[in-house]
Amino acid sequence: MGVRRLRHQGVTLIELIIAIVVLGIAAVGILTALGRTTVLNVDPMLRAQGLALAQSFMDEVSSKPFYAPSEDPRFDENAGANPCPGTDLNSLSSRVADLDHVCAYADYNATQHEGGLTAPDGDPVVGLSGYNVRVTVTSNADEPFSAPFDGLAPDCMLRVEVIASAPAGADTRLVSYRSSLWEGCS
């Protein structure tokens, strides 16, 4: 009987290095895909917050009277029918609660006012510092709207547009139309 030599079976240093490189490349690919998925999952959250913010401002504007209380033609026959007569955009308040009619929001930009976005009581909204909200109000007399509104007097129709910009730059745009049901508008 001869002496049998046992051959050690194992991996060489080269094989070990190649295996580590292959596993490293696979791990980098997996971690990159995981990172992209995380970023893409944050984007819908920012869009949802932007939509909620835009809807909140649209609800706020829509809840206001069509005419300024001091210039309502239903109560003051000397007032004109124009709902936005010479709105002084430089005198707009930074507090949403101080805005008393739809046209007071014309060219409202929440980040241009002190404190950025504020709640109706004037307190800053925590967590929304990166957002921007712009509101524009346009009269049908200033910029004629499309055919469905042809029957209304030009001064009796307003187009309200709210744009909420998320920190990542995604804009949410909401548009609504507001009309006066006052008899002088038919």
For residue range 77-112, list pLDDT tens digits in order.
665 555 565 544 444 444 455 677 888 888 888 765
The pLDDT of 121-134, averaged and rounded, is 75
Residue range of the domain that includes 86: 44-179
Classify residue 128: in a domain, yes or no: yes
Do 102 and 162 lie in one domain? The reply is: yes
With a CB cutoff of 8 Å and minimum separation 6, the contacts of 53 are 117, 128, 131, 133, 164, 172
pLDDT tens-digit readout, 24-49: 999 999 999 888 777 666 677 778 88
Please tell me the predicted confidence (pLDDT) of residue 27. 95
Answer yes or no: is 185 within a domain: no
Clarify whether residues 125 and 94 are in a common domain. yes
Is 159 a domain residue?
A: yes
Higher pLDDT pick, 124 / 62: 62
Of 121, 118, 91, 120, nearest to 106 by C-alpha is 91
Long-range contact set of residues 9-15: C-beta below 8 Å, sequence gap at least 24: none
Residue 9: pLDDT band (50, 70, 90) is confident
Q: Is the pLDDT of residue 116 over 50?
A: yes
pTM (global) more than 0.85: no
Residue 73, domain member (yes or no): yes
Same-domain check for residues 122 and 171: yes
Residue 1 belongs to some domain of the structure:
no
DSSP per-residue letters across 98-146: G--SGGGGTTEEGGGSTTSSB-TTSPBPTT-TT-EEEEEEEETTTS---
Domain count, the chain: 2
Q: Is residue 3 part of a domain?
A: no
The mean per-residue pLDDT over the stretch 55-78 comes to 78
What pLDDT, on a 0 to 100 scale, did the predictor assign at position 25? 95
